[in-house]
């Protein structure tokens, strides 16, 4: 694979050797010194570290990158497709447009870098699937279409993207409600805070300091009674905090797992949820049974490769779904990204496989980017 070379000939030759055919079509941001590039799952450079920062590649094959702290977009060879020129730029939306900032104003560009909607807004967010984007003008927020025309005039104190059900949460005079795609109030502003509607047609809402769940008519399905709440997971449970302890409720608000944990996290795809009890981390199933007893000093959710990163006696390793240490806790840090296991030792990052064998020696100053 042809790689973009560093100006310094000696470094360029070094990176050219490492730039090989991209492995598994996975581009992983990595930093060497002060510069970012991309490596594959074996640690080979596929795009040499020439950039101040980089982000993930979007579906259109472009990634945000910065040079001299201006934003542009590169392709998977490392060539600039849209030159660095923006004060900030976001990922491209499904409609092929990305919001970008220039000289203090926001607009929208296409994948060639052409302004489709000239920079004129104080704030701009990406387009939702319904073709509308929230933007700010003169301290008020409204919605525009992909031609830049106002569909809902700027009138709200705050507003977010539309959900799949066609409703968007908006704030007016300190209270939150929901509007439809024409700007009509479907749920009048009455709540202290709200979130998007989930796939089960329930949204989190806060009133008088307590959280509950409402339906698309604004009626309480689960009355406001919790100190904190999170969205319902695929298994039909939501984690909530009650009187300082976390547990899980079902869709009608009944306790499925009584509040008993200091902190509780969402269930992973393998059906296990990370919990903290007496400052120790462990894992439970959807009935609340402790599958892996709280014993770790720190831990992460299970990744798709069936492993979870855990900390024990100040060092990091990985366990399997039975709680067995399959990668000994011996590293300064461990991360799993797209089933690639990174480990940190003596200030440098490398790669190991599921058995703990070294795939790439510690050499990178950082992996995964701030722009994610």
Averaged pLDDT, 136-155: 98
Q: How many helices (H) and strands (E) does the chain have?
A: 1, 40
Instruction: Give yes or no for a contact between 125 and 109, defined as CB atoms under 8 angstroms apart.
Output: no
Q: Which two tokens stand for residue 202?
A: 């329930």
pLDDT for 371 equals 58
Q: How many CA atoms lie within 13 A of 245 on its CB side?
A: 10
Q: Which two tokens stand for residue 43?
A: 């640690």
Q: Is the pLDDT at 140 greater than 80, yes or no?
A: yes
CA angle 87, 89, 91 (to 5 degrees): 170
| Residue 14, C-beta contacts closer than 8 angstroms, at least 6 positions apart | none
CB atoms within 10 A of CB 94: 12
pLDDT for 25 equals 80
Q: How many CA atoms lie within 13 A of 37 on its CB side?
A: 24
Model pLDDT for residues 101-126, shown as the tens digit of each residue:
999 999 999 999 999 999 999 999 99
Model pLDDT for residues 169-210, shown as the tens digit of each residue:
999 999 999 999 999 999 999 999 999 999 999 999 999 999
Cα distance from N-terminal residue to C-terminal residue, the chain: 25
Instruction: Give yes or no for a contact between 285 and 234, defined as CB atoms under 8 angstroms apart.
Output: no
pLDDT for 14 equals 39
Mean pLDDT (the chain) is: 93
pLDDT for 12 equals 39
Q: Is the pLDDT at 143 greater than 50, yes or no?
A: yes
pTM metric for this prediction: 0.89
Encode burial over 188-207: b for 16+ CB neighbours within 10 A, e otherwise. ebebbebbbbbeeebbbbbb
Model pLDDT for residues 2-38, shown as the tens digit of each residue:
333 333 333 333 343 344 444 458 999 999 999 999 9
CB atoms within 10 A of CB 345: 14
Model pLDDT for residues 360-372, shown as the tens digit of each residue:
999 999 998 765 4
pLDDT for 370 equals 64
pLDDT for 106 equals 98
Q: Is the pLDDT at 158 greater than 90, yes or no?
A: yes
Percent of the chain past pLDDT 90, that is, above it, reads 91
Model pLDDT for residues 36-95, shown as the tens digit of each residue:
999 999 999 999 999 999 999 999 999 999 999 999 999 999 999 999 999 999 999 999
Band (353; pLDDT cuts 50, 70, 90) = very high
Encode burial over 227-244: b for 16+ CB neighbours within 10 A, e otherwise. eebbbbbeeebbbbbbee
Instruction: Give yes or no for a contact between 312 and 298, defined as CB atoms under 8 angstroms apart.
Output: no
pLDDT for 260 equals 98
DSSP-assigned beta bridge partners for residue 331: 316
CA–CA distances in Å: residue 18 to residues 21, 62, 135, 193, 360: 10, 22, 44, 51, 12
pLDDT for 237 equals 97
Model pLDDT for residues 210-220, shown as the tens digit of each residue:
999 999 999 99
């Amino acid at each position: 694979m042809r790689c973009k070379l560093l100006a310094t000939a000696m470094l360029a030759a070094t990176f050219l050797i490492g730039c090989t055919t991209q492995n598994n079509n996975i581009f992983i941001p990595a930093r060497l010194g002060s510069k970012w590039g991309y490596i594959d799952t074996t640690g080979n450079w596929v795009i040499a570290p020439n950039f101040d920062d980089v982000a993930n590649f979007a579906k259109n094959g472009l990634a945000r990158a910065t040079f001299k702290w201006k934003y542009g977009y590169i392709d998977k060879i490392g060539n600039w497709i849209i030159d660095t020129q923006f004060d900030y730029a976001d990922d491209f939306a499904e409609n092929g447009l990305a919001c970008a900032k220039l000289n203090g104003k926001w607009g929208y560009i296409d994948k060639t870098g052409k302004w489709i909607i000239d920079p004129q807004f104080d704030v701009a967010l990406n387009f939702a699937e319904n073709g509308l984007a929230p933007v700010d003008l003169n301290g008020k927020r409204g919605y525009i279409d992909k031609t830049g025309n106002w569909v809902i005039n700027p009138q709200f104190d705050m507003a977010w993207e539309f959900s799949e059900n066609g409703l968007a949460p908006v704030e007016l005079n300190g209270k939150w409600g929901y509007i439809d795609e024409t700007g009509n109030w479907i749920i009048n502003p009455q709540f202290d805070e709200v979130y998007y509607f989930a796939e089960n047609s329930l949204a989190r809402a806060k009133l008088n300091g307590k959280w509950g769940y409402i339906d698309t008519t604004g009626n309480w399905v689960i009355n406001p009674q919790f100190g904190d709440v999170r969205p319902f997971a695929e298994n039909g449970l939501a984690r909530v905090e009650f009187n300082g302890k976390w547990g899980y409720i079902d869709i009608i608000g009944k306790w499925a797992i009584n509040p008993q944990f200091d902190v509780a996290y969402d269930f992973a795809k393998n059906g296990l949820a990370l919990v903290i009890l007496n400052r120790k981390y462990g894992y439970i199933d959807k009935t609340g049974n402790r599958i892996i007893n709280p014993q770790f000093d720190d831990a992460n959710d299970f990744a798709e490769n069936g492993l979870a990163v855990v900390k024990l006696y100040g060092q990091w390793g990985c366990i399997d779904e039975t709680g067995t240490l399959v990668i000994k806790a011996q590293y300064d840090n461990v991360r799993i990204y797209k089933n690639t296991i990174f480990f940190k030792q003596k200030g440098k990052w490398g790669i190991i496989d599921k058995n703990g064998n070294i795939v790439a020696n510690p050499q990178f100053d950082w992996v995964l980017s701030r722009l994610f």
